[in-house]
Amino acid sequence: MDLNTTEGVRLEIKFVAYAYEVDRVVQWLRLHHAAFDKPFPDRRVHNVYFDSYDYDAYGENLSGISKRVKVRYRWYGEERYPDVGVLEVKCKRNKYGWKHRFPVTVSPLQSGKRWRDIRNSITGVLPAMGKINLNTYPQPVILNQYNRQYFVSRDKSVRVTIDTGMKVYDQRYKPTPNVTRRANISDLMVIEFKAEPSAQDEVNRVVQTLPIRVNRHSKYTTGVEAIYSY
């Protein structure tokens, strides 16, 4: 395994609330004693989530299994069909997560290109570990998109992302990518706190003062529920 493509273990705590609360949350971050600031501009995030034909990844998230894996193809920007992206294998153990990231230097997603050819294009540039994970979770299930804001505390110990403007597109049983027929989904805001495991006490102190009512959240689970209901 190439360690350059592996992110270290980090504490991850994710919540969901309604998007109309976003200004309140941003103001709270800016006034917080940890002095959160924006390290770089907002970005548009796109993900294609893959699963097994038995929806094992979805079932693990729904059941709250402590040890679980998600496989997704991610890119940034406004383009529906990116020049390059990254295959991410996101591993989760209770509150802790890490990623294996495999850059994809070809352009697999193209208008009219069939999903089986897209998978083959991605697989063709992956190392062995990436190939194994994509072959284990070969079915494209959803494509989601959202706007992401980034914040970091002054001492760099706690990072926060806020995602809004969520859109979800059903990819099941589609021969080519569906980027036009959107599923219905609530106007939500997803807030995630991230830190090194050693900063858990500081994260807990920050989370305890969050000024809105929130619930736990998985974008993939929420997206699958949306495509089943539309």
Of the candidate ranges 40-44, 67-71, 86-90, the one whose mean pLDDT is the lowest: 67-71
Q: Is the pLDDT of residue 118 over 50?
A: yes
Look over the chain and give the mean of its residue pLDDT values, rounded to a whole number: 90
* Rounded CA separation 123/128 (Å): 9
Residues with Cβ < 8 Å from 70, sequence gap 6 or more? 49, 57, 61, 88, 89, 90, 92, 220
pLDDT at 3: 35
Q: What is the pLDDT of residues 159-176, one digit of tens each?
A: 999 999 999 999 999 999
pTM here is 0.89
Of the candidate ranges 7-16, 19-28, 186-195, the one whose mean pLDDT is the lowest: 7-16
Q: What is the pLDDT of residues 5-22, one digit of tens each?
A: 567 899 999 898 999 999
Q: Is the pLDDT of residue 230 over 90?
A: no
Q: Are 89 and 6 within 8 A, CB to CB?
A: no
Q: What is the mean pLDDT of residues 15-43?
A: 94
* 6/49: higher pLDDT: 49
Secondary structure (DSSP) of 25-59:
HHHHHHHSTT--B-SS--EEEEEEEEE-TT-HHHH
Secondary structure (DSSP) of 75-114:
EESS-SS-S-EEEEEEEEETTEEEEEEEEE-S----TT--
Structure tokens given for 100: 């294996």
pLDDT at 217: 65
pLDDT at 1: 34
Q: What is the mean pLDDT of residues 186-192?
A: 92
